[in-house]
Amino acid sequence: MIDLNKFEVWFITGSQQLYGAAALKQVAANSQEIARALGRSSEIPVKVIFKSVVKTPEDATSICQEANMARNCIGLLTWCHTFSPSKMWINGLKQLHKPLCHLHTQHNRDIPWSSIDMDFMNLNQAAHGDREHGFIMSRLRLNRKVVVGFWQDISVQKRIGAWCRAAAAWHDWQGAKFCRFGDNMREVAVTEGDKVMAQMKFGYSVNGYGVGDLVKRVNSASGKEVDSLIQEYEASYSLAPKLRKNGESRGSFREAARIEAGLRSFLTEGGFKGFTDTFEDLHGLAQLPGIAAQRLMADGFGFGAEGDWKTCALVRAMKVMASGLKGGTSFMEDYTYHLNPKRNVVLGAHMLEICPSIAKGKPSCEIHPLGIGGKADPVRLVFNTPPGPAINASIVHLGNRFRLLLNEIDVITPEKPLPKLPVARALWMPKPNLEAAAAAWIYAGGAHHTGFSQAVTTEMIEDFSAMAGVELVVIDSDTKLRHFKQELEWNDIAYGIRSGFVS
Ligand code: MN
């Protein structure tokens, strides 16, 4: 549903007039060749378009202005084939509102030992030209990514690809709308935050809608719409006997489909990229949306339970980053632990709303009572998550600013079946271990809700946090708790200086 191929990254090469027309022609031809190769790389999910060779301050300014205005341009990929005096970039870079990746490469891989002369040296100066280019961005305090290496290397293309995915997610957030049905779960702190600051910082808006507006949509869903969803459910999932034709809960099954139809049309017509709900405000809905939230997430919508709009927006961003990659992305919650000395394990789940994009095999469609919320039994998809590396990410509001947190984890296969657990689940071992990871997470104030992904990488989130200009703290196999606590303290001072302190 999320198509990254419509997006463009503009390839801009820095140079100057000094070298003469022939050399500049060669610079343009080589740049085109590199841009074409990057655009064709399976590691890079967007179009790479060679735009121009910047030779003057006017060139730099006009290309940055053009990029700002271009609808599908998600960022600039810059490189200095030759030397490009960087004072001429100041005015343009000051105005640039799109992410920038500085590719520090060279057209030729090897030094041509037997033929290298001064002409060759003058044409292939990235080694020092790109340092001048980098200086001005550091001087301007411009957040960007620097990728070093030969442009044909897969590792280089992978790093550019990760940045493109982050840039696409960042682009997707600008002007995005997220819908909240009801408010937060009462008295919960971490799901609160400053929505005005979020809009200023991240570009997306969050607005509330009465659940009654949704109920109206749900009730007006046609029998035909419900029938076609029921057919889709029957074809996609293993149905519990109660939900099958003439089963005792067939009516609830149809009601769940009706909720999906109403929710889907509300979100689609409103142009929303995600939504939150809360079990404390379901007036007029027969069930807490279970299968509906799960399937909407699978189609790329962000979701946050209990009014958690920050996680909803993050899940959406991660869905964009993950588009086309193997492995799913879901709303998640650290639910309960296995504190066995042999292996400390986290069981992640939620009351209902885990995305089937992370399902191992065909999900089972079931109906079970839900004590919380006081509504009829909700229909949900139940499944396990396949083993492999994954991440959990969280975004919290610290009063004066936002903090992104990430924990690298390894999803494992459950030791034993969980026949009575009526919800989708993932089991994982956090890095470096549960003891350090959970302590670090708690010291950092990370939420119990996360965006979980088996496709999104730490590198993508790192690039994304740089684009947003927010702190990122990573908990991985290198994390030492004492150093991590110091990092939090130092970051608090650094970000406090930039954005003001709060008590
Ligand atoms: Mn929750």
Q: What is the pLDDT of residues 135-176, one digit of tens each?
A: 999 999 999 999 999 999 999 999 999 999 999 999 999 999
Burial code of 314-334, b = ≥16 C-beta within 10 A, e = fewer?
bbbbbbbbbbebebbbbbbbb
| 352 CA distance to ligand 1 middle (Å) | 10
Residue 503, pLDDT score: 61
Residue 14, pLDDT score: 96
Residue 28, pLDDT score: 97
| 309 CA distance to ligand 1 middle (Å) | 12
| 423 CA distance to ligand 1 middle (Å) | 13
Pairing of strands 100-104, 73-80: parallel
| 449 CA distance to ligand 1 middle (Å) | 6
Question: For residues 408 and 108, what is the distance between their CA atoms, to the nearest angstrom?
Answer: 37
Among candidate residues 321, 319, 354, the one with its CA nearest the CA of residue 426: 354
| 333 CA distance to ligand 1 middle (Å) | 6
| 421 CA distance to ligand 1 middle (Å) | 17
In the block, tokens 């689940």 appear at: 425
| 301 CA distance to ligand 1 middle (Å) | 17
Residue 372, pLDDT score: 86
Alpha helices in 323-393 (DSSP H): none
Residue 500, pLDDT score: 82
| 451 CA distance to ligand 1 middle (Å) | 12
Question: For residues 309 and 451, what is the distance between their CA atoms, to the nearest angstrom?
Answer: 12
| 469 CA distance to ligand 1 middle (Å) | 27
| 448 CA distance to ligand 1 middle (Å) | 7
| 198 CA distance to ligand 1 middle (Å) | 21
| 71 CA distance to ligand 1 middle (Å) | 36
| 189 CA distance to ligand 1 middle (Å) | 12
As beta bridge partners, residue 391 has 408, 453
* pLDDT < 70 regions, the chain: 503
Residue 70, pLDDT score: 98
| 353 CA distance to ligand 1 middle (Å) | 9
| 153 CA distance to ligand 1 middle (Å) | 43
| 500 CA distance to ligand 1 middle (Å) | 31
| 376 CA distance to ligand 1 middle (Å) | 19
